[in-house]
Structure 1
Amino acid sequence: MTTSRLNPIIYVRGFAMREDEIEDTINTPYMGFNLGSTRIRQDPDRSFTRYIFESPLIRLMKEYGYQDVYHQGAVNQARLPRKSVVIHRYYEQESGEGRRPSLIEAAEELGSLILWLRDRVCGDDDQARADFKVYLVAHSMGGLVVRCLLQNMAVATKQVRDCVDKVFTYGTPHNGIEMGGFNVPRALGIWDINNFNRENIAKTLDLAPRNGRVNHLDGHFPPERFMSLVGTNHKDYNLTRYAVGSMSDGLVKIENAYIESGPRVYCYLSHSGYYGMVNAEEGYQNLTRFLFGDTRVTGRMVVEALPLPPSVAKARKKGQTIEGSYLFECTVTPRMHPPIPLSDRRAEHGSAIFRRFDEMFHPDRTGHAHARHPVLFSVFLDTRKIQTGRTMVFVADVAVRSTEFKVDGLWFLDQRIPDENLYRDKLVLRATRGTNGWTLRYVSADERWGENRGSELEQDDQGRYVPLDSPKGFRAKLYLDVTAWE
């Protein structure tokens, strides 16, 4: 791996609400970035083994040679190595001065921390200072602190903002937080919960909402270099999950946890806790592939035929009005042990892609200029993780199903089979980089052994694709876009 990818990392922790939570935060050296987890896995002999994820901090140290900045309990070194992990301890003011820092103050401190780190990594080397870059990694509200630094021009200088190379956020409420179906009130100042009100976010970030949403970068940072991890497990979060509800990580709704036009992945993880996204292998694998990987793969499905169940098709032929929508599921897992999904979108998690028929085939009826065919995944991979040969192997488990149908405004349930798939297959995808670009092959692993070499992707004027079809009459093309990533 080229050393240019191994930039310093600053971790910006999330929201601490009550005074005791803030005190716990202040008294923790790494603000939670050192917390791991333990999972039970069953072996082939039916025995159970504990799998221990040591924490993102320790794994970065073990696998990439990073180190923290503490020496004898202090942060006073004159020089630091480039591969340093720094914790932005912006809650220190609460303990020392008895007041909570605002998002703007925390962002201003982050800017000062970036320059402090640059000075200690680069010293007096003018060229190194000019080339200095940093990665910002943030959990929850920490992502809003980062966005404030990047988007509010009064918070930091261009010199500071230009130091930021990539941003990765875990469960950040980029479009605010919903409680009981409503955005938290702007006037709810207790414990600074109104930080997550959309009007307040817009004011803090100095941006204009788009269609009432504030999850965009407003042109101040390249969205392709800003990645969001979206959690979909609300069940294992604290009691807040009852107010927030399903289709969330227990605190942040799925629809509010990403940046517009930026890459995002969906993982069955909670906002925090034992099943939290920061202290999970899935989070770490996505983090390191985004920061250090060299390949981005995007899968986009273009649907050509969506068959109706025979009974519903019969009703349609009679001239009855049919209403129905479709769910697209996809889980992407690279070849590794143990297998860890990088993105996992499923109906049972509330994260499947939802599309109405007209959105894909008659976009003008839904107010869209173009057909809204689903992007199933966009993940980052690393050719340096290949153990043998030159081929990256990953699996896309794809399923398409319909919702229940209405016929003439009434639910049509008499002959309907619940949760019936229109299409399902586990596609083994192989990408081999050669002198003339990528060779892409696929295997339909529901019908053949995935170890087979498979077939080359077909190609048309939109790109290379895997043809998808089922005996029920479903037809689509899964276009794969494989590009270099730096």
Structure 2
Amino acid sequence: MKNNPHHPYHPIIYVRGFAATQSEIEAAVADPYMGFNIGSTKTRLAWTGQVKRFHFESPLVRLMGEHGYRDVFVDGNDLVAGDFADQPIPYQSIIVYRYYDEASNDFGSGETPPIEHFARGLNKLILRLQDKVCANKRNNVSPEDFRVHLVAHSMGGLVCRAFLQNKGLGTEKARAAVDKLFTYATPHNGIDMRIVRNVPGWLSFGDANNFNRERMANYLDLPKGDDVSIVKHFPPERVFNLIGTNSRDYSVLRGASSWAAGDASDGLVRIENATTHGPGADGRDVTSPRAFVHRSHSGHYGIVNSEEGYQNLTRFLFGKLRIDGILDIDNITFPAELDKYHEENRAVRASYQIESAVSVRKYPWQITRREIRENSAIFRTYDQLFPGQPGTKRPPDRSMSPHLFSVFLDPEKSCKASKSVSLLCDLKLLTPDYEVDGVLFLKRHYEGGVIYQRQILVEAIPDTNAAGGWRIKYGDQENNPGKATLVAESRPLGDGDPASGLVFSIPIQQKSRPGLHGALRVEVRPWS
């Protein structure tokens, strides 16, 4: 890929989600873009105080208008699917994988093939696209340097993972061409329901058993078990999970799906099932980057046709810098009375809710958000953060440090003056529920009370004299709005090479009781 002049603007293949009934299949194949062209018109509060309309044109229209992408439909023909040697295909193309055509009464047999068949079809589509794109001499790209981005909704993400992970469903040549995978609301660890828990394997209606974990383990080439969210044969850090947290606006089956999935879901996929992880280059488990947005699985408030979704998509595909925030908690102090009980080795239990939201400069929305009222806050117990026996020294367990955000930024769209990129992290640690000897401790308790709240501004400034080429400054929004004035301490990330990334530490020291002590660990990596 060193000789690819287009990087990172590679062809994009969209892979749609699940269609349960024949009518849904026919509706999908009747649309050239299979729904990815659907936008939304909603309202938002303007600076004037008036409620105004906000128009989101759709991800496809925005990619074409802002990033120079083109579709492959000319004179009513699909240039990739058909044999049109005289029609060159531009490199920055958008292709819709129309895998449901075979299941249509209009275009196919009316019988839905298994998901393994769809994965093999994706393999063929990538190779066909590679041949056609590289045949266009204007693209100036060899087959070895050709790359493609996969963007998938719901079950489409499982089709992509089956192709990438199961070597029996694709070729090394096609897999090597995939640069990144972005998934919207994909049930990476299956679909769970209130009554029967995981979708049963015998439920063959509409191929719903595609979301049964035993069935998934088979086509994802994983050992049978409770976790099928493991990515293998592909870097897990190059898979992005966009997770919906709005269950109430998912109206499928007149709200029955939303009820069955529960509140902590997008109306179909539970938050806990919408993420991936897998072995990194050094063999250690790596969590895939992710963002949480208050959108439902589909529909007018759907996750695909949202501004938040589009911003995460384009930043992941085309951004140059990745910034992660991890809250390292050294200590959470108890109120004085509880401290006494704790020292007496009485059974004191506490649970904490951590809210986080991230905004980026100049954009009027949050790129990721986790809140209690949206059932997406991070939950930790005191014993998880500090394992051990009462009355003993209990050092923090860093494996339980809450991962707050993964944000991708583009220095080319930075502040003109400083050439910096920045974000604002709104962090809250909410008052927990305490128990003493199994009884709720409610003295001086106010529901919704906050132990710690802080809006931290993080700014990355290019600096050729600094290690890794970047300096990090930070500041508090309440003290100096919009400005970062304090320099964070840094050290190399991972193998010790500053060029591979840097770690910055922003201290948190709170004197009041109860209080939070630790640091916001900010990891900055070059992204390509």
One fold, TM greater than 0.5? Answer: yes
The more displaced of 398-407 and 282-291 is: 398-407
Give 1:135's match in structure 2, choosing from 136, 149, 167. 149
| Distance in 2, Cα, partners of 1:372 & 1:378 | 17
| Distance in 1, Cα, partners of 2:7 & 2:423 | 26
Match of 1:231 in 2: 244
- CA root-mean-square deviation: 2.2
| Distance in 1, Cα, partners of 2:378 & 2:510 | 20
Superimposed CA distance per residue, residues 214-234 of structure 1 (whole angstroms, 9 cap, x where no aligned partner):
0011x3101011111111111
Instruction: Give the residue type in structure 2 aligned to 1:268.
Output: H
* Conserved 8 A contact 1:362-1:371: no
Deviation at 1:461, TM superposition (A): 9.0
Superimposed CA distance per residue, residues 346-368 of structure 1 (whole angstroms, 9 cap, x where no aligned partner):
122222221222222227999x9
* Conserved 8 A contact 2:13-2:148: yes
| Distance in 1, Cα, partners of 2:300 & 2:340 | 50
Q: Secondary structure at the match of 1:5?
A: coil
Deviation at 1:283, TM superposition (A): 0.5
With normalisation by structure 2, the TM-score equals: 0.87
* Conserved 8 A contact 1:363-1:371: no
| Distance in 1, Cα, partners of 2:247 & 2:362 | 27
Match of 1:101 in 2: 113
| Distance in 1, Cα, partners of 2:191 & 2:37 | 26
Match of 1:246 in 2: 263
| Distance in 1, Cα, partners of 2:153 & 2:78 | 23
Shift in CA distance, 371/362, structure 1 to aligned 2, threshold 3 Å: farther
* Conserved 8 A contact 2:90-2:136: no
| Distance in 1, Cα, partners of 2:388 & 2:301 | 39
Q: State whether structure 2 residue 486 is matched by structure 1 residue 455.
A: yes
Shift in CA distance, 105/372, structure 1 to aligned 2, threshold 3 Å: same
Q: State whether structure 2 residue 527 is matched by structure 1 residue 485.
A: yes
Superimposed CA distance per residue, residues 187-223 of structure 1 (whole angstroms, 9 cap, x where no aligned partner):
00011111100000001112114x6210011x31010
Match of 1:443 in 2: 475
Once the two structures are superposed, the pairs formed by residues 123-202 of structure 1 within 5 Å of their partners are 123=135, 128-180=142-194, 182-202=197-217
Shift in CA distance, 432/417, structure 1 to aligned 2, threshold 3 Å: same
| Distance in 2, Cα, partners of 1:347 & 1:47 | 28
Shift in CA distance, 124/62, structure 1 to aligned 2, threshold 3 Å: closer
Match of 1:383 in 2: 411
Match of 1:258 in 2: 275
Q: Secondary structure at the match of 1:131?
A: coil
Once the two structures are superposed, the pairs formed by residues 23-422 of structure 1 within 5 Å of their partners are 23-76=26-79, 77-78=84-85, 79-95=88-104, 96-123=108-135, 128-180=142-194, 182-209=197-224, 212-217=226-231, 219-238=232-251, 239=255, 240-260=257-277, 261-317=287-343, 319-337=345-363, 339-362=364-387, 371-389=399-417, 390-422=419-451
* Conserved 8 A contact 2:430-2:449: yes
Deviation at 1:277, TM superposition (A): 0.7
Instruction: Give the residue type in structure 2 aligned to 1:457.
Output: A
Deviation at 1:101, TM superposition (A): 2.0
Instruction: Give the residue type in structure 2 aligned to 1:259.
Output: T
Percent identity of paired positions between Structure 1 and Structure 2: 41
Instruction: Give the residue type in structure 1 aligned to 2:185.
Output: G
Match of 1:469 in 2: 509
| Distance in 1, Cα, partners of 2:136 & 2:483 | 56
* Conserved 8 A contact 1:298-1:377: yes
Shift in CA distance, 227/371, structure 1 to aligned 2, threshold 3 Å: closer
Q: Secondary structure at the match of 1:130?
A: coil
Superimposed CA distance per residue, residues 459-484 of structure 1 (whole angstroms, 9 cap, x where no aligned partner):
57984211123342321200111111
Q: Secondary structure at the match of 1:3?
A: coil
* Conserved 8 A contact 1:431-1:440: yes
User: Where in structure 2 are there 5+ consecutive unaligned residues?
Assistant: 278-286, 494-502
Superimposed CA distance per residue, residues 406-461 of structure 1 (whole angstroms, 9 cap, x where no aligned partner):
11001122431212211101111111011132111111112x13233421113579
Shift in CA distance, 453/259, structure 1 to aligned 2, threshold 3 Å: closer
* Conserved 8 A contact 2:242-2:293: yes
| Distance in 1, Cα, partners of 2:62 & 2:447 | 43
* Conserved 8 A contact 1:423-1:469: no
* Conserved 8 A contact 1:90-1:101: no
With normalisation by structure 1, the TM-score equals: 0.94
| Distance in 2, Cα, partners of 1:204 & 1:164 | 19
Q: How many pairs are equivalent?
A: 481
Deviation at 1:46, TM superposition (A): 2.2
* Conserved 8 A contact 1:300-1:377: yes
| Distance in 2, Cα, partners of 1:461 & 1:434 | 15
Give 1:22's match in structure 2, choosing from 22, 25, 45. 25
The more displaced of 180-189 and 347-356 is: 347-356
Shift in CA distance, 364/386, structure 1 to aligned 2, threshold 3 Å: farther
Match of 2:283 in 1: none
Superimposed CA distance per residue, residues 33-65 of structure 1 (whole angstroms, 9 cap, x where no aligned partner):
111111212223322221101000000001100
The more displaced of 408-417 and 11-20 is: 408-417
Deviation at 1:370, TM superposition (A): 5.3
Superimposed CA distance per residue, residues 145-192 of structure 1 (whole angstroms, 9 cap, x where no aligned partner):
001101111111111111111000000000000111500100000111
Superimposed CA distance per residue, residues 55-96 of structure 1 (whole angstroms, 9 cap, x where no aligned partner):
000000011000100011111343200000000001101122
* Conserved 8 A contact 1:458-1:467: no
| Distance in 2, Cα, partners of 1:383 & 1:44 | 28
Shift in CA distance, 363/72, structure 1 to aligned 2, threshold 3 Å: farther
The more displaced of 293-302 and 126-135 is: 126-135
* Conserved 8 A contact 1:40-1:49: yes
Shift in CA distance, 456/62, structure 1 to aligned 2, threshold 3 Å: same
| Distance in 2, Cα, partners of 1:364 & 1:146 | 45
Match of 1:8 in 2: 11
| Distance in 1, Cα, partners of 2:344 & 2:133 | 74
Deviation at 1:112, TM superposition (A): 0.9
Shift in CA distance, 57/460, structure 1 to aligned 2, threshold 3 Å: closer
| Distance in 1, Cα, partners of 2:504 & 2:407 | 17
The more displaced of 176-185 and 248-257 is: 176-185
| Distance in 2, Cα, partners of 1:43 & 1:360 | 41
